[in-house]
């Protein structure tokens, strides 16, 4: 009995020693760090790891939204930037074992920042004697490294104090000033309301891309053909060819839809679909064109634009589509304009469009089909800007689904045959050949 009691005492003593040894191992390091201001960078603090004892990993939480992962300790100092004044808790967590990740301890200290690095602000004042012109004055206080204006979708790097902005058209415009220092950036946005179009807006635009269709051949540096007879998403019947259905003569482009077979099925018709190689963002886009002679239902000419992103894998209608002019021969003497976006499109049954609007000479005379595109709206018109037929304003909560119009788009010109829209009243084989003539395609952007 005495021997058994003696063995229990020895076992308890041994376990106590082992337990103390393990606790001592875990307690063999004391996490700690020091704080000092950076010698040259304002609002930057230097944190030095002063932990005593063996340790292997650290993790910082600087209290300003920045933190590190658990990572090996290669050096003992690290910096963090505090753009705003205040008191912040800084926590250092130290691991004292390479394999036992539960073996960690933390220490927290506070850092006090006396001043904001800067306070972004700007003023807006109308410019005397200039219509729809405003002086934007940077009134930011504090030190900063760069200032960038975002006006009508364009970035203007200007580290000075002022920028004169011009707004040609009626509408609401967001103006933004982005101020940056070190890795910190702050953006301030204000709204400018323009009550009327500037009558002299054309003087602020310059021609940046065009085709007047002079000569006898299509300019392959500006256009490329899309070919095929797979229905084009609308159950169309035409086969788009590589040049056999297009002519350039007498100063116009002629896109010609033809019947080459017995008719009434895919492949019995040929036509042309050309895409502009250049893409643009914002501006005034005009096409002067005449629709085919009115002979009956079945063809569907279009002057339109697609988001360039579709060429890089973005699906339709997420890429965005702007139909500057659509014509269906089953409803002669009319044209329409529309947009198709992820949130609103004909596949969903909720497209945004003008509907068929009367144009008595659509088939007998050339008309200008135009688009004004800004960072705030897209506006479609016929012949004159005063004849607006559809306006779509940028939503207050703009997303790629409802506003894909801050990215480049390119022109398409084509005549489809039949399909879900062009063939609503069938296809009359007596209407062919059908020719859409295009006098010019022009793109203007603000100079």
Q: What percent of the chain has pLDDT over 70?
A: 94
Mean pLDDT computed over every residue of the chain: 92
CATH number of 201-446: 2.60.120.200
Task: Please give the biggest Cα pair distance in the chain.
Answer: 124
Residue 19 has pLDDT above 50, yes or no: no
Closest Cα partner for 119 from 190, 57, 204, 177? 177
Least confident of 4-13, 146-155, 195-204, 297-306: 4-13
As given in the structure block, the two tokens for residue 386 are: 């005063």
Question: CATH topology for 28-113?
Answer: Immunoglobulin-like (2.60.40)
As given in the structure block, the two tokens for residue 339 are: 């947009």
Residue 12 has pLDDT above 80, yes or no: no
**Active site (annotated) includes residue 326:** yes
d(CA 294, CA 329): 7
416 band by pLDDT with thresholds 50, 70 and 90: very high
Residue 208 has pLDDT above 70, yes or no: yes
Of the residues 84, 321, 363, 397, only one is catalytic, namely: 321
Homologous superfamily (CATH) for 118-194? Immunoglobulins (2.60.40.10)
Residue 139, Cβ neighbours under 10 Å: how many?
A: 13
1 Cβ neighbours under 8 A, 6+ residues apart: none
- Report pLDDT for 40: 82
pLDDT tens for 233-252 read 999 999 999 999 999 999 99
Residue 424 has pLDDT above 70, yes or no: yes
pLDDT tens for 283-329 read 999 999 999 999 999 999 999 999 999 999 999 999 999 999 999 99
Mean pLDDT confidence for 266-274: 97
- What is the DSSP code (8-state) at residue 167? -
pLDDT tens for 71-106 read 999 999 999 988 888 999 999 999 999 999 999 999
Mean pLDDT confidence for 98-124: 92
Are 327 and 291 a contacting pair, CB within 8 Å?
yes
Of the residues 236, 286, 326, 437, only one is catalytic, namely: 326
371 Cβ neighbours under 8 A, 6+ residues apart: 284, 285, 286, 305, 322, 324, 378, 379, 380, 381
- Report pLDDT for 10: 47
379 band by pLDDT with thresholds 50, 70 and 90: very high
Residue 167 has pLDDT above 60, yes or no: yes
Residue 11 has pLDDT above 50, yes or no: no
- Report pLDDT for 18: 46
As given in the structure block, the two tokens for residue 36 are: 């000092």
Q: Which residue has the higher pLDDT, 174 or 184?
A: 174
**Active site (annotated) includes residue 247:** no
Residue 183 has pLDDT above 80, yes or no: no
- Report pLDDT for 142: 84
User: Residue written as tokens 């340790």?
Assistant: 55
Domains 118-194 and 201-446 share a fold: no
Domain ranges of the chain: 28-113, 118-194, 201-446
Mean pLDDT confidence for 402-426: 98
Mean pLDDT confidence for 338-367: 96
Ramachandran bin of 181, using left for φ above 0, alpha for ψ from -120 to 50, beta for the remaining angles: beta
Query: Cα 43 to chain center, whole Å?
Result: 34
Say if strands 269-271 and 238-240 run parallel, antiparallel, or are unpaired.
parallel
- Report pLDDT for 83: 84
Residue 1 has pLDDT above 60, yes or no: no
- Report pLDDT for 15: 46
- Report pLDDT for 27: 60
pLDDT tens for 38-77 read 998 778 999 999 999 999 999 999 999 999 999 999 999 9
- Report pLDDT for 21: 47
Residue 108 has pLDDT above 50, yes or no: yes
Q: Which residue has the higher pLDDT, 151 or 6?
A: 151
pLDDT tens for 221-237 read 999 999 999 999 999 99
Helix %, strand %, coil % of the chain (to 5)? 10, 45, 45
Closest Cα partner for 416 from 252, 229, 211, 285? 229
The pair phi, psi for residue 287, each rounded to 5°, is -130, 125
d(CA 261, CA 267): 8
């Amino acid at each position: 009995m005495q021997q058994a009691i003696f063995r229990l005492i020895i076992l308890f003593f041994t376990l106590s020693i082992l337990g103390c040894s393990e606790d001592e191992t875990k307690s063999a390091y004391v996490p700690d760090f020091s704080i000092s201001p950076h010698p040259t960078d304002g609002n930057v603090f230097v944190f030095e790891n002063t932990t005593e004892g063996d340790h292997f990993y650290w993790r910082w939480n600087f209290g300003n939204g920045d933190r590190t992962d658990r990572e090996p300790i290669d050096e003992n100092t690290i910096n963090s930037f505090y753009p705003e004044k205040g008191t912040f808790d800084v926590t250092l967590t130290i691991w004292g074992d390479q394999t036992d990740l539960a073996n960690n301890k933390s220490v927290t200290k506070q850092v006090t920042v006396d001043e904001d690095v800067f306070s972004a602000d700007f003023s807006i004042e109308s410019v005397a004697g200039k219509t729809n012109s405003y002086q934007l004055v940077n009134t930011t206080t504090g030190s900063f490294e760069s200032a960038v204006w975002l006006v009508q979708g364009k970035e203007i790097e200007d580290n000075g104090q002022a920028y004169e902005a011009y707004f040609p058209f009626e509408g609401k415009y967001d103006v933004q000033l982005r101020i940056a220092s070190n890795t910190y950036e702050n953006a301030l946005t204000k709204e400018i309301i323009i009550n009327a179009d500037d009558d002299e807006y054309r003087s602020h635009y310059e021609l940046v891309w065009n085709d007047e269709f002079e000569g006898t051949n299509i300019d392959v540096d500006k256009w490329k053909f899309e070919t095929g007879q797979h229905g084009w998403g609308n159950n169309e019947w035409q086969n788009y060819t590589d040049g056999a259905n297009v002519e350039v003569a007498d100063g116009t482009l002629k896109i010609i839809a033809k019947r080459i077979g017995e008719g009434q099925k895919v492949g019995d018709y040929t036509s042309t679909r050309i895409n502009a190689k250049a893409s643009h963002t914002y501006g005034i886009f005009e096409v002067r064109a005449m629709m085919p002679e009115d002979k009956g239902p079945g063809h569907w000419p279009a002057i339109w634009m697609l988001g360039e992103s579709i060429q890089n894998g973005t699906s339709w209608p997420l890429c965005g589509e702007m139909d500057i002019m659509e014509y269906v021969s089953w409803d002669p003497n009319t044209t329409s304009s529309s947009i198709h976006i992820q949130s609103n499109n004909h596949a969903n049954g909720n497209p945004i469009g003008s509907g068929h609007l009367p144009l008595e000479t659509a088939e007998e005379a050339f008309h200008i089909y135009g688009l004004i595109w800004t960072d705030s709206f897209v506006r479609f018109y016929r012949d004159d800007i005063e004849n607006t037929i559809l306006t779509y304003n940028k939503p207050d909560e703009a997303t790629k689904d409802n506003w894909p119009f801050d990215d480049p788009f390119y022109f398409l010109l084509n005549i489809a045959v039949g399909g879900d829209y062009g063939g609503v009243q069938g296809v009359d084989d007596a209407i062919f050949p059908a020719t859409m003539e295009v006098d010019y395609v022009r793109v203007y952007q603000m100079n």
